[in-house]
Amino acid sequence: MDLISEERLSGMNPVEKVRFIIDEVKKDKVLVLEKGLTPDEEANLIEMTMTKIQPDGFSGIEMESYPAQSGNSIINKLFNKGGHRTRLTIIGPANQLKTLKKDRDLITTLLSSKE
């Protein structure tokens, strides 16, 4: 399992980020992203995942993040570009990472080694 710092991803453009994540996950790595992805990057990651799915091979990803905090206060609007702050995110191969429970403030996952 790799813990990916904010800095590691911030140097990449959105396409590079999505490609990096897919490549790692296809190597059976589970990634924890300190900063998460923007909603647009999440959508692109889903799209790219779909193009990589193969019967008897890669069956997709499991991804869990917390809902973005969209504060409506003036302070929030001033400091986080439109009030959106991306959050801690875990991404892994669908056959190894299972979400057991997800709540507003707690994500419980089960990590298994490859069968």
**Burial of 96 (C-beta count, 10 Å sphere; 0-12/13-18/19+):** middle
Minimum CB–partner distance for residue 15 and another protein (Å): 15
Nearer to another protein by Cβ, of 16 and 47: the residue is 47
Distance between CA atoms of residues 10 and 6, nearest Å: 6
Give me the residues that bind another protein (CB under 8 A), please.
Answer: 38-40, 42-44, 46-47, 49-51, 53, 55, 59-68, 70, 82, 84, 94, 99, 101-104
User: What size, in residues, is the chain?
Assistant: 115
Q: What is the largest CA-CA distance in the chain?
A: 51
Nearer to another protein by Cβ, of 24 and 42: the residue is 42
Minimum CB–partner distance for residue 57 and another protein (Å): 11
